[in-house]
Structure 1
Amino acid sequence: MVISIDRLDASLLELLTEDPRAQIMDLASRLGVARNTVQSRMRRLEESGVVTGYRPEVDLSALGLSVQAFVGAETEQGRIQAVVEALRGVPEVLEVHTTTGREDLLIRIAAPSHEDLLHVLERILGLRGVAHTTTTLALTTPVKYRTQPLVDHLTREAGHGRSAASYRGDA
């Protein structure tokens, strides 16, 4: 379900991104709207699937997982789903994307060391249905996963209310 969002929704999302544990009254005060408005907006964003949860942001390096890599995997014909299911059982796998191009899957993994990374890569390559992999090490992450700039872009011309935002790639 695709919904339109406005500047109030975008501002609410920004505050929740900064502090997922913020209290409703605090959010209402900071946004300059009634508590009921914030509650109804949050409920709408949750029920429509825009907000899918309130999770802590975990620093993997602080947990000793300072080596991250992206693995492109080619799978045997008709084996993508089976490989994806097998990857769910590999704890070092952070996320898996199906892709177009030479590789069928893009896999993000984390490990404590290069030696441990090698073991994870060998495990992935040993999965039934994986034909070939290529690995790219992430040296730094200068832009971490974010959504707020895009949300702001989508709603920059909209005020409060239900004006639909349209995507235009121009900045």
Structure 2
Amino acid sequence: MSRIDRLDSELLKRLNNNARAGVAELAAQLGISRNTVLARLQRLEREGILKGYKPVIDLEAAGLPVQAFVGLELDQRQMAQVIAGLSEIPQVLEVTTQAGREDLLVKVAAVTLAQLQEAVGRMVEIRGVRHSNTTLSVSTPLPYRVQPLLDHLTSEAGWGRSTALPS
């Protein structure tokens, strides 16, 4: 069962489009009271659904045109040490654990291919890393998104307690 309804989804959609939108602006867009918007946002934050309000950075425009995914095979007993070591490498943007041959997937950005190679070299020097596999990212035709999934998830959930769905 979903922890969010259609109103939550619409609120998140508007925040995703403009994280600077104020409570009054969101309330006007959704046709609901400011108190309802504020209560919804507080609940979404409290429940850990809404983790924050962050700018979306275009890495290429910021001077980081080289982006890659590095799969790392580990001695799994060294997982915490490897993650701590990865956190010391500035080019490492994100680390996710995964099932399969490689245990970690590391998203990396760099100014040059040489800088990427240096970062990967630092990764394989971390105690517990057995093997690396680097895949260069050429483009991102479909950037990270969550809204279509939220819309699908909440399509039958209704629009809150007593407020009619806006037309």
Q: Which band: TM-score by shorter chain?
A: over 0.9
Quote the Cα distance in structure 2 between the aligned partners of 1:32 and 1:48: 24
Equivalent pairs, count: 161
Deviations 1:91-112 (A, max 9, x none): 1101001111111111010001
- Give the aligned partner of residue 167 of structure 1: none
Deviation of the 1:63 alpha carbon = 1.3
Contact residue 72 and residue 130 of structure 2 kept, 8 A = yes
- Give the aligned partner of residue 58 of structure 2: 59
Contact residue 74 and residue 133 of structure 1 kept, 8 A = yes
Letter of the structure 1 residue corresponding to residue 67 of structure 2: Q
- Give the aligned partner of residue 19 of structure 1: 18
Deviations 1:92-151 (A, max 9, x none): 101001111111111010001111111111111111111110010110001111111111
Deviation of the 1:7 alpha carbon = 1.0
Contact residue 85 and residue 126 of structure 2 kept, 8 A = yes
* Pairing of 1:21-60 with structure 2 (within 5 A): 21-60=20-59
Letter of the structure 1 residue corresponding to residue 66 of structure 2: V
Deviations 1:10-47 (A, max 9, x none): 00000000111101111000000011110000011010
* Pairing of 1:67-78 with structure 2 (within 5 A): 67-78=66-77
Identical counterparts, % of pairs: 50
Q: TM-score, normalised by structure 1?
A: 0.91
Gaps in structure 1 of 5+ consecutive residues:
163-171
Q: Secondary structure at the match of 1:53?
A: coil
- Give the aligned partner of residue 154 of structure 1: 153
Quote the Cα distance in structure 1 between the aligned partners of 2:98 and 2:29: 41
Gaps in structure 2 of 5+ consecutive residues:
162-167
Deviation of the 1:77 alpha carbon = 4.2
- Give the aligned partner of residue 165 of structure 1: none
**RMSD, aligned α-carbons:** 1.3
- Relative to structure 1, the CA distance from residue 40 to residue 77 in structure 2 (aligned partners, 3 Å threshold; closer, same or farther) is closer
Deviation of the 1:3 alpha carbon = 5.8
Deviation of the 1:161 alpha carbon = 2.1
* Pairing of 1:136-155 with structure 2 (within 5 A): 136-155=135-154
Quote the Cα distance in structure 2 between the aligned partners of 1:77 and 1:160: 45
Deviation of the 1:80 alpha carbon = 1.1
Contact residue 3 and residue 48 of structure 1 kept, 8 A = no
- Give the aligned partner of residue 110 of structure 2: 111
Misfit runs of 4+, over 3 Å: none
Q: Secondary structure at the match of 1:78?
A: helix
- Relative to structure 1, the CA distance from residue 44 to residue 77 in structure 2 (aligned partners, 3 Å threshold; closer, same or farther) is closer
